[in-house]
Chains A and B, each alone.
Chain A
Amino acid sequence: MASTDVHPASEPARWTYLDRIRTRPGPFTNPAMFSGDGVASFMEQIKILVIGAGGLGCEILKNLALSGFKDIHVIDMDTIDISNLNRQFLFRQADVGKSKAEVAARFVEKRVKGVKITPHNCKIQDYDEDFYMQFQLVVCGLDSIEARRWINATLVNMVDEEVEDSIKPLIDGGTEGFKGQARVIIPTVTSCIECQLDMHAPRAAVPLCTLASIPRQPEHCIEWAHVIAWDQEKPFPQLDKDDPEHITWLYQKALQRAQEFNISGVTYSLTQGVVKNIIPAIAATNSVIAAACCNEALKIASNCAPFLGDNENYMMYSGNDSVYTYTFRHERKDDCPVCGQLARDLAVDPAWTLRELIDSFAARPEAQLKKPSVRAEGKTLYMQSPPSLEAQTRPNLDKTLVELGLEQGQEIGVTDAAYATVVFKFKLKFK
């Protein structure tokens, strides 16, 4: 057993319930993978990383601390907002404005004796592979697809077939209202977040001409205020979506426009929801999804029961209509730009300009790239940065694919600064 400073004398009694499960095999435990004696001390050696200290993150930290993990790190760059308090139960009114990672870490350390939680008040992109290499497991509770894709690509890139420890299982949770999902990714072994990207298709954007000339819905008026009126009038130097004064300005603008067109339904709350793309969130759903994730973490760390990942790897949950789960195996894709080897087919019109091609990446469910740069067989077609290269390649934007010399079946490489060094490989299929 481990040293006494992590193990107060009272510990065995404290972990009675957990030890019954993690130190004794059950009917579903794989005996070849399981050794009850060493489990507790093995788990104490594990370094586990939690990404996000929000609604899911607070729950995840609590759950891991009460699952026998002792060395937990947490990354979150956000500060606490009053609208977090309806679910982020480690925070109080007096904590508003403080670092989420720091307050959450301190709270759980104080409540659960013997657990060490190291907060990182920064972005995940601030760290490199060396940082991520120190962990054995990563649990993600994020509300941004972009951050998920970044950590996924980073963990897949880190895999070195010669080094077994380089495979870091990634457990990812997400919620929306009464619904959510939990999934386990074993990088390069199971399907990855990029393979599953089309499960989370982006919401279709409203065409600019609708906003500009034929609004019909309150949302159209709000988007008009946000996208068009703000730029024209620049009431403040920079739009801060968390500043009530800025939201009020947008709300008033949207309301005027709605009245002009006899459209009803513009409210402050809707304005805020549309501009910030607010996803409804409650404690109960976070509780379900975070626990589903941490339950898998415990099983992976202890082998006390089969975990998601081997066979099934994805659990969908919905509480809208009764309670429903769908647990299934999402297959790896050979043409996944992150974990696959093959280029993915890309249906394009040869008469498209490069600009049209580039704009199309944002809306494609399987790509969702907002600032793509494009290369083709050593030739740079368009680069978003640095500025000099951007200026140099900009003229290409108005040329058609044919004019650029692109051919049927040709491979192109697409990169986006948001996803580190990942090259999305596509094979052109002319319509």
Chain B
Amino acid sequence: MTEIIMSQTPPILHGPSEKERKYDRQLRLWAASGQSALESANILLVNSGAGTVGAETLKNLVLPGIGRFAIYDETQVSEADLGVNFFLDEDCLGKSRAQSLTQLILELNPDVQGSWYPDEDVKTLSSLLRDSPLFTLIMYTHPIRPEQLAQLEAYGQQHKTPLVAIHSAGFYSYFQINLPGAFPIVDTHPDETATTDLRLLNPWPELVTFAEELTKDIDGLDDFQHGHLPYVVILLHYLEQWKAAHDGKHPASFKEKTEFRKIVQGAARTNNPEGGEENFDEAAAAVVKTVVQPSLPSGLKEVFEYKHTDPAEQRSGFWLIADAVKKFYEKYQCLPLPGKLPDMKAQSKVYIQLQNIYKAKARKDAAEILQIVQATPGGEHVDPAEVDLFCKNAAFVKLINATGGGDGGSDAQISRADRLKSAAELEFANDETAELSLSPLSLLPIYLALQATAHVDLSSEEGFTAEAILAAVAKRVPGAEKRERVVQAANEVARAAGGELHNVAALTGGMVAQEIIKIVTKQYIPADNTVVYDGIGGRVQVLRL
């Protein structure tokens, strides 16, 4: 009801604000809610190594208006930087790279705050981490010194801060997202075509009455009315007929659905100039996708079955709502109705009535969920808007990092090492059959070869030989160093010797920025958890490591 009242109030007829105009193309992707999350974020870049991929990532975050950033970079700008990094110029030579990058990146957007370290007061990474306001997310670039990595991981664990490791060298790169525990996303932006949920096999009374009213004399309707029956109504009508002829059962098998589709198509009137009816075409085309029993999507199933290890996490709004939806599902064997009606041929008035029937049912379901939430301890503080959003997206809710990331400590280290070994086993086994299954070869060798130089100082020559790389690989995944593709990757990494190609850094910086935007706005679905890029073959693989 509120919607109708609102649309009747005189609209404010001024155009968009300056800020809305500047950010128009991105607001269409993540709306004001996503924008405000971005503007509240405070990102730290620990920029070691050749230093371009971090700068390119920041560019892509500063342009859309991230709140603030800090760069920690101990190096001075050298000639080699100028051939690869766009945010440094000749005036920067010999100066702090952190300072120069910050200045030239800040030029991109006057709305963003930026600071750089080390400076007069903050001389080390540990003092920066100790004295700064909390960071929303930290990214660091390889090669990085092990003690600095340890400091960042400790910080991430203590403050539950997502960490993103990035490594770009020559034609290769990877980045790895380390989230502090399970990461649920509600606003996943599924493809619009996937979201249609019409409940044709279990309609509620208001919908049934509406459909019956329109079709009780279907053969007596004039051609205009018949040709403008919404396809939802057409399908409900013929489903009733089918049930009457089939012991109350719905068309279930593919064969039955095909038969049902023929019945629907055959009911169209053809004695007209068009030789058919568009709404009946729409109805026939919708049979396979919409005449379906509600089921529990795998993403939500994972949410329902998730076992909490952290009691604080369990009391968050998301999990309280998820529990309520689970109870709702157990009671009704279906999810709360999202309430969106796709466009279909119909008279305006009839379509709007039907749309309101779907909306009203969705509001009723959401109200029931809200009631369950509010009856739970802690649930009284949950925002009803959060409940609404969950109900609209329930079928597409997604849990990332459900088994928990590298949460520090020796146990986790061991399990992470084991995870890599078993992933390697699987990837190499897949490669054996890749030719037969026409699937591309694994990019794990690239990850292994890059990872082998994660802590090698850029000035070290012996650290970047193929032999040294393969020896380091052998320590992590014994046997892998003998595989031809690993040897090739090691040679390719040796060729770059820690140097970046600008294109690969820019491409990787684009991907990382997308991921950070997704994590900060909690919209779309972040990668879980390692993304490897091969600039020779021109493709990406996501590995869970």
Contact = CB atoms under 8 A, between A and B. Distances in A.
Interface of A: 10, 13-18, 20-21, 24, 26-28, 59, 62-63, 66-67, 82-83, 85-87, 89, 92-93, 110-113, 177-178, 182, 210, 214-217, 244, 247-248, 251-252, 255, 258-259, 261-264, 266, 268-269, 272-273, 278-292, 294-296, 298-299, 305-306, 308, 312, 315, 317, 319-327
Nearest to A315: B538
20 contacts: A14-B79, A27-B488, A27-B491, A66-B84, A67-B502, A82-B22, A86-B26, A111-B86, A264-B3, A264-B7, A268-B16, A282-B60, A282-B514, A287-B513, A288-B510, A291-B502, A312-B538, A322-B528, A323-B514, A325-B539
Nearest to B20: A269
B245 interface: no
B470 interface: no
Nearest to A256: B11
Interface in B503-522: 503-504, 506-507, 509-511, 513-515, 517-518
A108 B499 CA distance: 22
B60 A21 contact: no
A258 to B, nearest CB: 7
Interface in B411-446: 440
Given A280-B28, A321-B188, A111 B514 contact: no
A284 B348 contact: no
Contacts of A266: 7
A132 B476 CA distance: 53
Nearest to A270: B28
A67 B52 CA distance: 13
Contacts of A320: 189, 524-525
B171 A83 contact: no
B403 interface: no
B25 A281 contact: yes
A295 B56 CA distance: 15
Contact of B504 (A248, A295, A325): A295
Contacts of B510: 283-289, 291
Given A214-B348, A263-B348, A283 B6 contact: no
A13 B538 contact: no
B312 interface: no
A144 B107 CA distance: 30
Contacts of B536: 28, 299, 305-306
Nearest 7 A/B pairs, CB to CB: A287-B510, A17-B499, A288-B510, A291-B507, A66-B502, A13-B79, A284-B513
Given A287-B509, A319-B524, 11 more contacts: A14-B80, A18-B83, A26-B492, A63-B503, A86-B65, A280-B25, A284-B513, A288-B511, A306-B536, A322-B526, A325-B539
Interface string B355-399: 100000000000000000000000000000000000000000000
B90 interface: yes
A121 B487 CA distance: 49
A62 B25 contact: no
B54 interface: no
A269 B29 CA distance: 12
Interface of B: 3-4, 6-8, 11, 13, 15-16, 18, 20-29, 50, 56, 59-60, 63-65, 78-80, 82-84, 86, 89-90, 107-110, 170-171, 188-189, 228, 343-349, 351-352, 355, 440, 487-488, 491-492, 495-497, 499-504, 506-507, 509-511, 513-515, 517-518, 524-528, 531, 535-540, 542
Given A20-B497, A292-B538, A15 B83 contact: yes
Contacts of B78: 13
B284 to A, nearest CB: 18
A269 B27 contact: yes
Given A17-B500, A66-B84, A319 B514 contact: yes
B352 A262 contact: yes
Contacts of B347: 214
Contact of A89 (B4, B108, B352, B495): B108
B514 A285 contact: yes
